[in-house]
Amino acid sequence: MTSFGYFLSCEEFSPAELLEQARLARQAGFTHLAISDHYHPWNGEQGNSPFVWSVIGALSQLTDLPVTTLVTCPTVRLHPAVTAQAAATSSVLTSGRFRLGVGTGEALNEHILGDAWPPFGVRADMLTEAVEVMRQLFTGEPTSHRGTYYTADNARLYNPPVGELPVYVSGFGPRAAQLAARIGDGFVTVGPEADLVRTFKVAGGEGKPVLGGVKVCWGHDRDQAVRTVHRLWPNELLPGELAQVLPTPRHFEQASELVTEQMVADAVTCGDDVDEHLATLQPFVEARFDEVYVGQIGPDQRGFFDFYGREVLPRLHA
């Protein structure tokens, strides 16, 4: 059965706003939380970018809902040994309810220390090795590793995770789905692509959870909701690998000039028509996703949670 969680966007909201959304999400009936990990927002209009591990620490004292990073990159900006410590501490603070979602990253966040941005094949190899290092450290035993990309010298986590800490791997194409099946405990993707889910399961992911997500903009005025999405999240409609290779918010702003309000209206669920929101989520159920995370774009979070708690979630669970 598909469960529905709420997506906390560190790019768009301040730490205090994220905590309030987590509280409202639980009241509305969402059963899980996911949170993004960014050093920069996608554009200046979004205007936020708190350190995700600090926010997770605060969430652990606020809610008993499971929390998953969607996703963090443990390969460039943060060494996998440091990411492992952050994830293990999050597991301890949440009494084992934390799951680590990882991916190959975006230049937007990972270029900040001056590192070159490698092609996907190299990034996939880096992620594979990073996951190996983190799993060794999660045992709580002293770990030394000398690999192609990373070195760990007698590193040990004195506060290891509570139980097994699942590592979910994100991806948006067949190669990434196969990688997730090989090195991950689950698969994270975006759209409800049944073929991609099948690729993951055939490659060794059968029995492992599949997570997806979608952004919407609830509001009584559909045209205003479309304008809100166009102002805050036009990058969602950029094609190809731009999301992975553009290095600064300004570059995304320039590329997003190609995105029109009509493109947003055609691609993003906006407004207060309950049937449209249900129609957006139902394909995830049909594609056998285990968890689906919904993110509300824009400032009217209370209206969204009231609408989903009253009109949408009860019908999805019926």
Active-site residue list? 38, 106
Largest CA distance in the chain: 58
Q: Is 66 helix (H, G, I), strand (E, B) or coil?
A: coil
Neighbouring-strand partners of residue 188 = 170, 211
Taking alpha carbons only, the member of 144, 138, 153, 288 closest to residue 211 is 288
Q: Is 80 helix (H, G, I), strand (E, B) or coil?
A: helix
Note whether 36 and 8 are within 8 A (CB).
yes
DSSP 205: I
- Report the alpha-carbon distance of residue 187 to residue 238 in Å, rounded: 23
How many C-beta neighbours within 10 Å does residue 258 have?
12
Q: Is 181 helix (H, G, I), strand (E, B) or coil?
A: helix
C-alpha dihedral sign at 231, 237, 239, 242 = positive
- Report the alpha-carbon distance of residue 94 to residue 88 in Å, rounded: 10
- Report the alpha-carbon distance of residue 273 to residue 307 in Å, rounded: 10
Note whether 150 and 84 are within 8 A (CB).
no
